[in-house]
Amino acid sequence: MKLTIHRGANEIGGNCIELKDDCSRIVFDVGLPLNAIDENLDIRCYKPDISGLFADETGVAAVFISHAHPDHYGLLSLINKNIPIFMSKASAIILKKIVPLLGEENYADLNIIELSNGEEIKIGNFLIKAYEVDHSATAAMAFEISAENKKILYSGDIRFHGRRAWHSKIFADNITPPDYLLLEGSTLGRENQEQLTEYDIEKRLTVLFAEKKLSLIVFSTQNIDRLVSVYKACVRKNKILVLDPYSCAILENLQEISSHLPQFNWNNIRVYFACNSITRKLAESGDLYHYKTSKITFDEIAANPEKYVVKANFAITEKLFERLDVDNMQFIFSLWSGYLDKPGFWHDLKDKLVCVHTSGHACVKDLQDFVKAVKPKHIIPIHTTCKDKYADLFAADVIVLDDNIETEL
Ligand SMILES: [Zn+2]
């Protein structure tokens, strides 16, 4: 069996891994590099050199997507529409229903097949088993691949401190020790960062929301754990969470996965119809109409600002700065702080921000505990800028690979 890391051996993001034997070839993740995502570059420039995957070419038997972050799925729209693409139901919902709201990408005509936790798929001589793990994307998956009497484990993106950390723990404690573990290492090199759990985030937000002022909070609603933390902190302090229609659409579509997710018509949630392209798309499809019963106007917010926690989007942020006293607001940044290094609106406001965030990726200590539990014979670094640190950190033989080098396993 041969392994090629097409991208991800030397960087965080852009994961693309190929496994092949004499009969078939399968691909795990078809991600875009982070800079291509941030700068909105032409995705066609980032196609890895895999024959039989893109356009009308044939030859790749299946693609497996670990989770719905573009550094893992961003090239999907370019691949042959007949190739089966396996992913969790939550990932499929995000790709089919939510991502099209953000731009031109349309995944409706792809051959997406939903996988459940623990499900096994046979592709040629490969047996692939999917395991749900904790990550900032909903229902992220790790994959165990068995072939030629060998086992390979691909961690995808994984952590042990979110609301679904138990998924990662059950996975770690029950997996058969693999011959090879392809292990993400996003946090290597960031060892000094404080490791909070998602429950710590909820507590910190609860303290902040006790302030008698409007809170404007920047976070990603695709990070469902964070949305739940914000919502629960609002409930504890009897604040109203003001969402945009985009956030409501995510929650409404993911209701299929969990009936416990907060929805637009729950107590403590109102919807501000932010004037932007996403709201317009939802209006055209008729979906915006659902949220009418929970609609709130800007004047209602301005009349009692201290009652509200507002999820930031450009439209409402601009109005808040124009119409309300900035000194009577607090600004909470609940994303990776590295985004603040780039020029932009929040960068300029850096001194006024309270940062409350935890990573979507396991800290080094949790990765070490994971390796102790899983007991791989070999570790292959991926999704990291620090592959040379693995040998010192983990109790297993480390095989350091480069992009685009085929390796016999
Ligand atoms: Zn991710």
31 & 154 share domain: yes
Same domain for 173 and 256, yes or no, is: no
pTM equals 0.96
**How many domains in the chain?**
2
Between the alpha carbon of residue 247 and those of residues 216, 235, 363, the distances in Å are 15, 18, 28
Residue with tokens 């800007």: 298
Same domain, 305 and 384: no
**Residue ending a domain, choose from 312, 330, 355:** 355
Query: Could you write out the DSSP letters of every residue in 94-162?
Result: IIIIIHHHHSS---TTS-EEEE-TT-EEEETTEEEEEEEEB-SSTTEEEEEEEETTEEEEE--S-BSSS
CA distance 253 to 285: 14
List the 378-382 sheet strands across, edge first.
120-123, 126-133, 140-147, 150-154, 180-184, 378-382, 397-398
Structure tokens at 197: 């759990």
Considering the domain architecture, whether residues 330 and 369 belong to the same structural domain is answered as: no
Q: Which residues of the chain have pLDDT under 70?
A: none
User: Cα(88) to centroid of ligand 1, in Å?
Assistant: 14
Cα separations (Å) of 273 from 209, 320, 395? 23, 14, 53
**Closest-CA residue to 1 (of 15, 374, 16, 18):** 18
| The CA-based dihedral angle spanning residues 388, 392, 398, 404, taken in that order and rounded to the nearest 10 degrees | -10
Q: What is the domain extent for residue 100?
A: 2-190+360-408
List the CATH number of the domain containing 241: 3.40.50
Q: Are 189 and 385 in contact (CB under 8 A)?
A: yes
Ligand 1 geometric centre to CA of 44 (Å): 21
Q: Measured in angstroms, how far is the CA atom of residue 286 from the centroid of ligand 1?
A: 31
CA of 317 to the centre of ligand 1 (A): 27
Asked if residues 98 and 249 have their Cβ atoms less than 8 Å apart, the reply is yes
Which neighbouring-strand residues pair with 407? 3
User: In terms of domains, do 11 and 138 share one?
Assistant: yes
Ligand 1 centroid – CA 156 distance (Å)? 8
Q: Which amino acid is at 286?
A: G
Span from the CA of 294 to the centroid of ligand 1 (angstroms): 32
211 and 182 both lie in a single domain: no
Q: How far is the CA of 355 from the centre of ligand 1 (A)?
A: 20
**What is the distance in A from the centroid of ligand 1 to the CA of 136?**
7
Q: Are 184 and 151 in contact (CB under 8 A)?
A: no
Question: At residue 73, what are phi and psi to the nearest 5 degrees?
Answer: -125, 0
Domain endpoint, select from 332, 355, 378 = 355
| Residue 368 backbone dihedrals phi, psi, to 5 degrees | -65, -45
Written as one letter, the residue type at 79 is I
* CA 70 to ligand 1 center in whole angstroms: 8
Check whether residue 221 and residue 264 sit in a common domain.
yes
pLDDT at 125: 97
Q: How far is 39 from 241, CA to CA, in rounded Å?
A: 31
Check residue 342 and give its pLDDT: 87
Q: How far is the CA of 280 from the centre of ligand 1 (A)?
A: 28
**Measured in angstroms, how far is the CA atom of residue 50 from the centroid of ligand 1?**
22
Q: Measured between alpha carbons, how far is 252 from 259 in angstroms, rounded to an integer?
A: 10
For residues 200 and 399, the answer to whether their CB atoms sit within 8 Å is: no
Residue after which a domain boundary falls, among 355, 372, 389: 355
CA of 297 relative to ligand 1 center, distance in Å:
35
For residue 66, the CA-to-ligand 1 centroid distance in Å is 8
Same domain? For 85 and 116 the reply is yes
- 222 CA to centre of ligand 1 in angstroms: 11
Answer for the pair 292, 266: CB distance below 8 angstroms, yes or no.
no
Q: 342 near 39, Cβ under 8 Å?
A: no
**401 and 295 share a domain?**
no
pLDDT at 323: 93
* 213 CA → ligand 1 middle, Å: 34
Contact 160, 27 (CB under 8 A): no
Interval between CA 219 and ligand 1 midpoint (Å): 15
19 and 114: one domain?
yes
Specify whether 9 is located in the same domain as 76. yes
Shared domain for 101 and 129, answered yes or no, is yes
Among 232, 221, 236, smallest CA distance to 271 is for 221
The CATH number that applies at residue 95 is 3.60.15.10
Contacts of 299 (CB under 8 A, 6+ apart): none
